[in-house]
Amino acid sequence: MPTPLRLACLPLLLALAACEEPPLPAPPADLGKMEPLAPSPEKAQAAAEKEALDEGEVVEGAIRLSWKLPPGEKVLGFRIATRPGPGKQKALDIDLRKAPGLKRVDRRVLKMLCPMQLPAHFTLTGVMEPMGEYGTYSVRYVLGKIKRGHLPRHKLMAKLLRQLQGKVVLTAEIAKSGAVLDVSSGFADRNILTYLFEMPGKPVREGETWKLDLSHFSSILFERKKLDEKAEAELVKIETTEQGSLATIRHRAHSRMQGEFAKLATKPVRQSLSYEFRGQGVFDVGRGCWKSYSGRYKARAKGLFSYRQDLRLRFEPLKQVSPELLAASRAKP
């Protein structure tokens, strides 16, 4: 552009630069926001069913059985008591004639045998409370006082049981779903004490069954040769009441084991052990705990030691957990 023309246009350019552009309109408040995607009808229905099952409701004939603490409570207390059944009873007897070269049964063996035969009358008081942040519960059983007349006749075994009174004799870790994650016991058959806590982990319908975890008599002194066992639970009935859903559950279990004590005497000593358990109770699904339960336990042993036993078992929830019970349950075994 020639210089005179540029000079002529300069006033126009300065005038245009001095003009203010009108402000841009403010962006809408919802600019950049995305409308939430509505779940598909199938996902919405599945979420609603899961919530209903978690609340203890019956969905299409199925119900979820899981453990909970009572509203506003931090612990759950319960009591298990036994009494003799109508069948034959035989006190524990040790026959050294069946173990050539064995002059006496030492303390190791007696400690091993001590849990095998349950006292005819005993009480276990238990406490369940949350464990850490992993959604699991800790369950601990405290052995009550056993009357003198109900203790074993063998002096050392009676002494061992007296030493356990008022102490934790079984601890377990269970998931809310009812899976038994860990058990430690130095008293009695741990199976019948953990059956009550094992739930299927998935919704079940009337007539459906689920397997129960089994532990076995074991010792470095004992060698198992044969084993026949089965343990299962069945959801017998679902009842809907004004207070919520109630589930009737039945337990059936048996175990028959044969083996030998390989290192006690100059030659192996044969031993057989067997037990049978039948029980049934009502589980309060909404509250997540047993309302009532009763069962029958029959056991028998033949060999170096022998006994025969028939017991009635009853489980009942406690209305409250005393400070003394809570302290005893938290003490180290």
Segments making up each domain of the chain, as ranges: 59-330
Phi, psi for 273 (deg, rounded to 5) = -140, 140
**264: number of Cβ within 10 Å:** 22
Q: Read off the pLDDT of residues 129-151 as tens digits, 9 standing for 90 and up.
A: 988 767 789 899 898 888 877 77
Position 265 confidence tier, pLDDT thresholds 50, 70, 90:
confident
- For residue 206, name the pLDDT band (cuts at 50, 70, 90): very high
Check: CB of residue 88 under 8 Å from CB of residue 308: yes
Residues 6 or more apart in contact with residue 155 via CB below 8 angstroms: none
- The Cα angle at residue 169 between residues 251 and 288, in degrees rounded to 5: 45
Residue 96 burial (CB count, 10 A): 15
With cut-offs at 50, 70 and 90, classify the pLDDT of residue 50. Answer: low
Element (H, E) at 232: strand 222-241
- Residue 238 CB coordination number (10 Å): 17
Q: Classify the C-alpha dihedral 102-108-113-114 as positive or negative.
A: positive
- The answer to whether the CB of 125 falls within 8 A of the CB of 170 is no
Provide the pLDDT for residue 280.
97
pLDDT at 180: 81
Place of tokens 């926001």: 33
- For the chain, helix (H) and strand (E) counts, in that order, are 6, 14
Alpha-carbon distance of 45 to 43, in angstroms, equals 5
> Over the stretch 270-324, which tens digit does the pLDDT of each residue have?
889 888 999 999 999 988 889 999 999 998 989 888 888 899 999 999 988 999 9
Interior/surface letters 200-233, b for 16+ CB within 10 angstroms, e for the rest: beebbeeeeebebeeeebeeeebeeeeeeeebeb
Higher per-residue confidence, 20 vs 308: 308
* Pick from 133, 227, 128: nearest CA to 178: 128
- Per the CB < 8 A criterion, the answer to whether 271 and 222 are in contact is yes
Tell me how far CA of residue 123 lies from CA of 84, 115, 143, 172, 281, in angstroms. Answer: 13, 15, 6, 18, 18
Tell the residue number behind the tokens 């002096």, with chain if given: 155
Alpha carbons within 13 angstroms on the beta-carbon side of residue 250 total: 11
